[in-house]
Amino acid sequence: MAIKLYQFAISHYCEKVRWALDYKGLNHETINLLPGQHVKTIRTLTGGASSVPVLDHDGHRVQGSKEIIDYLDETFPENPLTPADPENREAALAWEQRLDDELGPAVRCYSYHHFLQRPKVVVPMLAAGTPFYNRILLKLAFSRVDEIMRNWMKINEKTSERSRETMEAYLTELADIYRKKPYLVGDRFSRADLAAAALLAPMFQPEQYPVPWPKAARIPRDIKVWLDEWQPQIQTLEQVYTANR
């Protein structure tokens, strides 16, 4: 059995899959790709869309974090992330879909809007796990990289502010739920909890995340102020991450 995960080390959607694989105790090989240069590799694998993550299990390819977790639970039922109870299953999948569609893009937009203004900080994170020369290539072409990423993900001052508001709404909702019970759905850890903590992981920079996190002094000021203000709610999600990762 050979499992390969094609990913960006920095991607919080890829972190969802890394976590799921580790949670299930599945040996796997991670293949880190450089954003932009990944397109040819991924399209060769999928014959279509170029997004990551992509899982290759003995030649069977699955694209997208939600779809990969579906596949892992079906193929490797030990340590399930999808509840068996139909009602809880529906609730967990609904939570994951909401978080994928709304929270994940918000974290990405808000973070990149500020970090793309710090090339020396963001380049090592974008190139994490890839050959050293990719840092040089990114530095040389950074103005173009910045333009492409902002256009592709619709990142600007207005979308960043809306993303911040989305993050705050979710942090408030999630922290309130976790104060009352240990899990979002049912009585055990599920893909709903995994999605919430993984997608917010860049906000608390866990050691398990395979990127060189910046020191506190190098975090953009706006993000640093926001992190300080929302630390109690962020710590709630960090505790979910630490307890289950």
DSSP symbol at 102:
I
Residue 151: the pLDDT is: 97
Cβ neighbours for 69, distance < 8 A, ≥ 6 positions apart: 16, 17, 20, 81, 82, 96, 191, 194
Task: Dump pLDDT digits (tens) for 128-145.
Answer: 999 999 999 999 999 999
Residues spanned by the domain of 9: 3-75
Least confident of 45-54, 110-119, 188-197, 227-236: 45-54
Q: Are residues 69 and 163 in the same domain?
A: no
146 and 188 housed in the same domain: yes
The predicted-structure confidence for 155-195, as pLDDT tens digits, reads as follows 999 999 999 999 999 999 999 999 999 999 999 999 999 99
What CATH number does residue 71 fall under? 3.40.30.10
* Cβ count near 26 (within 10 Å): 17
Domain match, 57 and 111 both: no
**Domain end residue (candidates: 40, 75, 110):** 75
Number of domains in the chain: 2
pLDDT above 80: residue 1: no
